[in-house]
Amino acid sequence: MTKPLRLGIAGLGTVGAGVVKIVQTHADLLASRTGRRVTISAVSARSKSRDRGVDLSAYAWEDDPVALAKRDDVDVFVELMGGEDGPAKAATEAAIAAGKDVVTANKAMLAIHGQALAETAEAKGACLRFEAAVAGGIPAIKALTESLAGNEITRVMGVMNGTCNYILTRMQDAGLDYQTVFAEAEALGYLEADPTLDVGGIDAGHKLALLASIAYGTQVNFAAMSIEGIERITIEDIEQAADMGYRIKLLGVAQMTGRGLETRMSPCLVPATSPLGQLENATNMIVLEGDSVGQIVLRGAGAGEGPTASAVLSDVLDLARGTRVSTFGRPAGDLVAARAAVSTAPAPFYIRFALVDKPGALAKIATVLGDAGISIDRMRQYGHEDTTAPVLIVTHKTTRSTLDEALSAMDSTGVLAGAPVAIRIEEV
Amino acid sequence: MTKPLRLGIAGLGTVGAGVVKIVQTHADLLASRTGRRVTISAVSARSKSRDRGVDLSAYAWEDDPVALAKRDDVDVFVELMGGEDGPAKAATEAAIAAGKDVVTANKAMLAIHGQALAETAEAKGACLRFEAAVAGGIPAIKALTESLAGNEITRVMGVMNGTCNYILTRMQDAGLDYQTVFAEAEALGYLEADPTLDVGGIDAGHKLALLASIAYGTQVNFAAMSIEGIERITIEDIEQAADMGYRIKLLGVAQMTGRGLETRMSPCLVPATSPLGQLENATNMIVLEGDSVGQIVLRGAGAGEGPTASAVLSDVLDLARGTRVSTFGRPAGDLVAARAAVSTAPAPFYIRFALVDKPGALAKIATVLGDAGISIDRMRQYGHEDTTAPVLIVTHKTTRSTLDEALSAMDSTGVLAGAPVAIRIEEV
């Protein structure tokens, strides 16, 4: 048997401890599958004394992850600290500089610095892999990079933040409003320290940026993404969507259009009977579409110790088998800086607004939409609540930019109480 | 750039022509993703003159696939002829003997001869890969072999024959009986020349045998599988199942039990709200369960030109990138001959039978079940049709062997008109 593949693991939170457990409990299984033993040489974390439920006594301890990354007895640096800069980035760069392969679960670091890191890794002949950074245990990166490599990718979609999906399905199931369920989720510890990362769509946006880069051969460009969170979704939106046969999901979509690469993370209406519509609680789903393969749907746990550790092991065991794939699926130098297109793909939209109680108010809104060339598929006006009446409109297909102009014009009519809410209806 | 990876393709049916199309239309894309051009040196098929909608003039033609497999200008032999023996096997063996890598979509050949072929391939240092043999474009083989390699696999399930799923969902949607929908499917060209391969569960069984080998490190053993087709499923079964919140699917299940490896392909009741229950028409679904990753669900087209060609390319492009994975996920010599366990995993069952119109008839059946230690969860008796009354029973958990003894004893009571039908209820 070949000599062992020796890991250095930085970050011993839930996922790090999970990786240690798998390496310890499945040592023979991993060796029989890869022809090579996988061992741990050294570990690093903020607190040496904390009990993590795993025996670390056989491994060297490094207080400094950069020192860990450079150790001679480490073949693969496993970065599980998180954070887009700071120690995670410093240690990853140190490992690459030392010619070591890197496996990371760090979506934020890669979404911001992925291109530079991939270029450096290739210059040093090192592999930089990140299956665990996107959708936990779901093999999204491998499926897109390897299984669908014979396809021109036509669209990538996904529900990639379990907390947001939990909040939206809990609102629907229990008929609760956003604030109540948000507070529940916070109490349950489901939210990041900065909840905007979750409910603001940023965490999911990081993941989509990585998928888009692989799908279209483009340099990862998180800054160009259009991002909208779930904070403005009301229980009324959810119930109205359900009445019309839809569910509301925080959906990421990446597609190459004639005018550039469109990447957006936003609440969308999807058919209730579709796999995306049926996705409940914290489960994740990735939908990959290619010109030959059609639509492939991948579903599973998007977070948690076991699923994320399983994804880390997927990359580690690839390296043990000698599999070496470019970070974003092709040489970093070949990735192009794609023109970012804003919402050029037309879609129907759901619009909600409150109309003030004035004669001709609805006519003004209908005129604005008509003038913008937006035709109405369905409309409902409800009875007045105090001095305003809720109105829902489903439009025929239009572009987001046309719609935004119309929304702005609607605002200027003086017949709306508050800004209108618009949610895209995605064909899935 | 490295020198091209040169293919020899034997079999130019739908899938073969699809592979040629991808290689021709996406030549630059494939090269940019793998760092290596993929070319076709030679092709072989039964008829040289048939128009397949692709230009083959640039490729050498071989009448004999064995001669094609041995050509010096072929690096990878792509076997798309089908058939468990005959030319497919002869040519695959010839390619391996010549030290060439082989990519095949041939589930029957691998289910019967997979162990021997894998051993020969490894002895010659050749790769033998078969993503396209299982569930078309769904990356089932790669996900199980590579993505979940860090897991002890706890269960593998799948709906892997699109024709059967089409028949079952069409029966349900249109309220038609089996014979009518079978005739429809035949007229539409959905069935194999020998329809037993489809509706008898054999084709799906071949696929399950391959998945089980990877999952549990066992020698592929199609002969040990318990196989039951969909021929005895009636529209009444489907409607009764639906009334109780279930769907009937031809479901493959492989799980390692304390008494050995259980692999079975049979109609099962699954919850209507589960991903498997919601699977409609010819779509396939693979469910992989591991001790760390939990449950991963993969859904997509299980057949057809594009999806299957995409899977062939997945293997070809892996080879172009230099990825080399053992046929069944570990060295062929390490695969063990697992003891085949028959139905040791207990489950609830749905039983349907017709009771003759005699006093005390139902009591006799209830006594047989009670004597066998099988308790009844739910029972329905319907009004008499002529001289018999249909009865449905849902049992609590029992093993298939206990149930089979009870069914045999029920048959001996003399109060049944015809043999009872029993369908397992699978927890999914």
Domains for chain A: give ranges and CATH numbers: 5-104 (3.40.50.720), 140-301 (3.30.360.10), 349-425 (3.30.70.260)
A310/B323 CB distance under 8 A? no
Pairing outcome for strands B349-356 and A376-381:
unpaired
The percent of residues above 70 in pLDDT, for chain B, comes to 100
Q: Work out the end-to-end distance of chain B between its first and last CA atoms, rounded to an integer number of angstroms.
A: 48
Chain B residues whose beta carbon lies within 8 Å of the beta carbon of residue A131: 147
Of A32, A273, A294, the CB nearest to B137: A294
The H or E element containing residue B318 is helix B305-321
| C-beta separation of B396 from B355 below 8 A | no
Detail the residues of A annotated as belonging to a binding site for NADPH.
107
Catalytic residue set of A: 207
Chain A residues whose beta carbon lies within 8 Å of the beta carbon of residue B304: 294
Of A138, A147, A312, the CB nearest to B296: A138
pLDDT at A189: 87
Q: What is the largest CA-CA distance in chain A?
A: 84
Is B107 labelled as part of a ligand binding site? yes
Nearest CA in chain B to A1: B331
pLDDT at B193: 85
A294/B306 CB distance under 8 A? yes
| Structure tokens, A245 | 């046969």
| Structure tokens, B67 | 């001669």
Distance CA B24, CA B58 (A): 11
B131/A147 CB distance under 8 A? yes
Distance from the A330 Cα atom to the nearest Cα atom in chain B, whole angstroms? 5
Residue A400 three-state SS: helix
Count the neighbouring beta carbons within 10 Å of the beta carbon of residue B414.
9
Q: Work out the end-to-end distance of chain A between its first and last CA atoms, rounded to an integer number of angstroms.
A: 48
Say if residue A291 is exposed, middle or buried (CB neighbours under 10 Å; 0-12, 13-18, 19+): middle
Distance from the B288 Cα atom to the nearest Cα atom in chain A, whole angstroms? 10
Interval A37-63 mean pLDDT: 96
| C-beta separation of B167 from B199 below 8 A | yes
Distance CA B30, CA A151 (A): 9
Is B12 labelled as part of a ligand binding site? yes
Of B217, B273, B317, the CB nearest to A32: B217
In the predicted structure, residue A422 carries a pLDDT above the cut 60: yes
| Angle (deg, nearest 10), helices B361-371 and B400-411 | 150
pLDDT at A54: 96
Of A278, A300, A321, the CB nearest to B325: A321
Q: Scanning the structure block, which residue is given the tokens 């209507």?
A: B272
Chain A residues whose beta carbon lies within 8 Å of the beta carbon of residue B26: 150-152
pLDDT at A213: 98
| C-beta separation of A295 from A278 below 8 A | no
Comparing C-alpha atoms, which of B112, B113, B39 is closest to residue B78? B39
Interval A289-307 mean pLDDT: 97
CA atoms within 13 A on the CB side of A195: 17
pLDDT at B1: 57
| C-beta separation of B68 from B62 below 8 A | yes
The model's pLDDT over A368-384, given as tens digits with 9 standing for 90+, comes to 999 999 999 999 888 77
| C-beta separation of B146 from B324 below 8 A | no
The model's pLDDT over A208-243, given as tens digits with 9 standing for 90+, comes to 999 999 999 999 999 999 999 999 999 999 999 998
Distance CA B133, CA B210 (A): 9
- What DSSP string runs through A189-244? T-S-SSTHHHHTSHHHHHHHHHHHHHHHTB---GGG-EE--STT--HHHHHHHHHT
Distance CA A136, CA B230 (A): 36
Catalytic residue set of B: 207
pLDDT at A428: 87
pLDDT at B186: 93
| Spans of chain B, pLDDT less than 70 | 1, 343
User: Could you tell me the pLDDT band of residue A267, with boundaries at 50, 70 and 90?
Assistant: very high
| Structure tokens, B184 | 């429809």
Please tell me the total number of residues recorded for chain B in this structure.
Answer: 428
Chain B residues whose beta carbon lies within 8 Å of the beta carbon of residue A303: none
pLDDT at B64: 98
Contacts 24+ apart (CB under 8 A), A222-227: A222/A111, A222/A112, A224/A261, A224/A263, A224/A340, A225/A263, A225/A264, A225/A265, A225/A340, A226/A263, A226/A264, A226/A265, A226/A266, A226/A342, A226/A343, A226/A400, A227/A200, A227/A201, A227/A202, A227/A264, A227/A265, A227/A266
| C-beta separation of A241 from A250 below 8 A | no
B293/A137 CB distance under 8 A? yes
Distance CA B130, CA B147 (A): 16
| C-beta separation of A101 from A69 below 8 A | no
Distance CA A208, CA A135 (A): 10
Is B13 labelled as part of a ligand binding site? yes
Instruction: Report the residue of A21, A30, A146, A334 to disrupt the B interface, i.e. the one with the largest count of B CBs within 10 Å.
Output: A146
Of B35, B310, B330, the CB nearest to A293: B310
Distance CA B194, CA A55 (A): 58
Residue type, B162: G
ipTM given for this complex: 0.95
Distance from the A159 Cα atom to the nearest Cα atom in chain B, whole angstroms? 14
Nearest CA in chain A to B143: A139
Distance CA B5, CA B376 (A): 61
Interval A245-268 mean pLDDT: 94
Chain B residues whose beta carbon lies within 8 Å of the beta carbon of residue A330: 32-33, 35
Chain A residues whose beta carbon lies within 8 Å of the beta carbon of residue B295: 300-301
pLDDT at B2: 82
Nearest CA in chain A to B142: A147
A275/B301 CB distance under 8 A? no
B32/A152 CB distance under 8 A? no
The percent of residues above 90 in pLDDT, for chain A, comes to 89
User: Could you tell me the pLDDT band of residue A176, with boundaries at 50, 70 and 90?
Assistant: very high
Chain B residues whose beta carbon lies within 8 Å of the beta carbon of residue A290: 310
Of B142, B217, B293, the CB nearest to A147: B142
B334/A295 CB distance under 8 A? no
Comparing C-alpha atoms, which of A408, A403, A400, A420 is closest to residue A355? A420
Is B306 labelled as part of a ligand binding site? no
Distance CA A7, CA A316 (A): 9
Interval A258-263 mean pLDDT: 89
Interval A302-330 mean pLDDT: 97
Distance from the A80 Cα atom to the nearest Cα atom in chain B, whole angstroms? 17
- What DSSP string runs through B185-199? HHHTT-S-SSTHHHH
A331/B35 CB distance under 8 A? yes
pLDDT at A81: 97
| C-beta separation of A427 from A369 below 8 A | no
| C-beta separation of A212 from A263 below 8 A | yes
Is B192 labelled as part of a ligand binding site? yes
| C-beta separation of B167 from B181 below 8 A | yes
Distance CA A420, CA B219 (A): 62
In the predicted structure, residue A7 carries a pLDDT above the cut 70: yes
Nearest CA in chain B to A322: B323
Distance CA A203, CA A82 (A): 12
Residue type, A349: F
Residue type, B7: L
Chain B residues whose beta carbon lies within 8 Å of the beta carbon of residue A294: 137, 300-301, 304, 306-307
In the predicted structure, residue A1 carries a pLDDT above the cut 60: no
Distance CA A323, CA B15 (A): 27
